[in-house]
Amino acid sequence: MKSLLRRLRIRRLAFTFTTLATLSAGILIGSLVANGVHGQSKVNSSDAAPLKIPPPVDLSTNFTRIAKEVSPAVVNISSETVPKQTQQMQQMGPGGDNGMQQFFQHFFGMQPGEPDQGGSGQVREDLGSGFIVDPHGYILTNYHVVRGATSILVKLKSDPAGSSGHPATVVGYDKDTDLAVLKINVDHPLPTVTMGNSASMQVGDEVIAIGEPLALTQTVTHGIISAKNRTIDPGASGQFKHYLQTDAAINPGNSGGPLVNMKGQVIGVNTAIYTQTGGFQGIGFAMPSNTVINVYNQLIGPEHKVIRGSLGIQFQPNLPPAVAHVYGFKYGVLISSVIPGTPAQKAGLKAGDIITSINGQPIKNGDDLVDVITAKKPGTSVTVGYLDNSQHKTAVVGIISRTELEKLLKNAGNSSSSSNGGPGMSGHVKLGITVSDLPQGAPAGLHGVLIQSVEPGSFADRQLGLAGAQGMVITAINRHPVNNVAEFRAIVAGLKPGDDVALQLVNPQDPTGGSSYVGGTLP
């Protein structure tokens, strides 16, 4: 019996030591504090004063005030898309279908280049933000937040927890600017934002972004305007998208929310982010409020769509400096082509003319021209100031809708003819281009020489960027028309190192017969 008790005591001690050995240092120190170090008596804390919660102090800043003013009008938008088996929905990305798309994504988390779930048999749910601009329930957001949605719910800040929100109807949308207007029905006036003038914003101005990022409601972030007039989608698809750039933190779910200045005015709609991780990397883009207001006013109109004006011309953005130098202008728009049947053609405008003003307002570049002309109503007219072979001229040109322009372009494509290559090649080492006379069957009215090959590493390859330009037609060199190989040789023979060289090119497969321009300085 004694032996059994002794074994139990040993096991109990072993268990005690094992337990003590696993205790944290914090518990051991706490024991020492409670019992006194090395047997000392407990500390008398009767002289310790209790802490008190101080009276609240008003630390409000402009940020606090603005958040309180604007947040009630910011809403959460959830959309649900039930795909049709027979329809693949078009992916709508801020980068379009070009190389920029791999860098940009919209805020509801779709990766660039990732196919839409439409047609896959799966229901897609998207989250975004928006803001109320009319107390009757009219809401601005991004088109991509509600694109193709079969149901849309809008949740207000004042809605009780657990509420699913209010059913919303799409009043209208504009793909060109990625904007949409929604309408919800409520029995009381709703809080609204105050719109501001985005043209007054300067780089460095402070801004606040408010939205629902990552399903975290009513999130407020702060930053500055990092840049203005930022185009992230080159070409025709980006001609109406000139963004404010900001470093205010915006993430998936912020899309459609407001970007606000320090007066509490909305000066942009958060639309896109630059990201390689899918999250915030310090670069976000917002559609300027001046563009938003113009689009909104048309979307709430009787037709619920945006109608943009056009002259009926095409131009090439970002011309090389050598082209501008050869054609003798610093500011303006060099016409690449004039669409047959348009007011521009009827007014006598042609490829090679340089538009310098509209109704006396100077035109610096293509963005200026697009902004002015698209705001004009079809059926009206403008006075176009332009240079024709360095001579200042004016013409009264009517405005047509872009829808009508698209019809004319389609008709031009149906009536166009194609050309076939032929013999008669002649090379010239100075430019690095091998050309030939135009073959029989070339489109009527087309003149120039046909590019047969471009020598790798040559001036035409490296400076003019003509690698792969076989089949293009050179119609002019430094504004001198080219009709055949002999004229081509004669003009090129007169070029010397240091000269600017500007080539006017035509793609014979282009139904509009439009020109493009390349240029560089001859080494």
Residues in the chain: 523
Cα torsion through 67, 69, 75, 76, rounded to 10: 20
SS3 at position 181: strand
Reported in sequence order, the residue ranges of 47-174 that DSSP labels E, i.e. its strands, are 74-81, 104-105, 124-134, 138-142, 151-155, 166-174
Q: Based on the residue annotation, tell me whether 255 is a catalytic residue of this protein.
A: yes
CB distance 309 to 401 below 8 Å: yes
CB distance 143 to 161 below 8 Å: no
Q: Based on the residue annotation, tell me whether 480 is a catalytic residue of this protein.
A: no
The active-site residue, picked from 71, 78, 129, 255, is 255
- State the Cα–Cα distance between residues 9 and 15, nearest whole angstrom: 10
DSSP 231-282: -SS-SGGGTT--EEEE-S---TT-TT-EEE-TTSEEEEEEEEEE-SSSS--S
CA nearest 435: which of 460, 413, 415? 460
Amino acid at 366: G
Helix (H) or strand (E) holding 65: helix 62-70
Structure tokens at 198: 């985005």
203 contacts: CB under 8 Å, gap ≥ 6: 224, 225, 226, 227, 228
CB distance 174 to 295 below 8 Å: yes
Q: How many CB atoms lie within 10 A of CB 245?
A: 19
Q: Based on the residue annotation, tell me whether 178 is a catalytic residue of this protein.
A: yes
C-alpha to C-alpha distances, 69 to 65, 74, 141, 192, 263, nearest whole angstrom: 6, 10, 19, 9, 10
DSSP 22: T
173 contacts: CB under 8 Å, gap ≥ 6: 143, 146, 147, 179, 180, 181, 299
SS3 at position 130: strand
- State the Cα–Cα distance between residues 434 and 452, nearest whole angstrom: 5
DSSP 459-513: HHHHTT--TT-TT-EEEEETTEE--SHHHHHHHHHT--TT-EEEEEEE-TT-TT-
SS3 sequence of 409-450: HHHHHHHCCCCCCCCCEEEECCCCEEEEECCCCCCCCCCCEE
CB distance 238 to 229 below 8 Å: no
CB distance 522 to 497 below 8 Å: yes
Residue with token string 């501008």: 324
Longest CA span, the chain: 125
The active-site residue, picked from 176, 178, 247, 368, is 178
The active-site residue, picked from 71, 79, 106, 144, is 144
- State the Cα–Cα distance between residues 193 and 72, nearest whole angstrom: 9
State the catalytic residues: 144, 178, 255
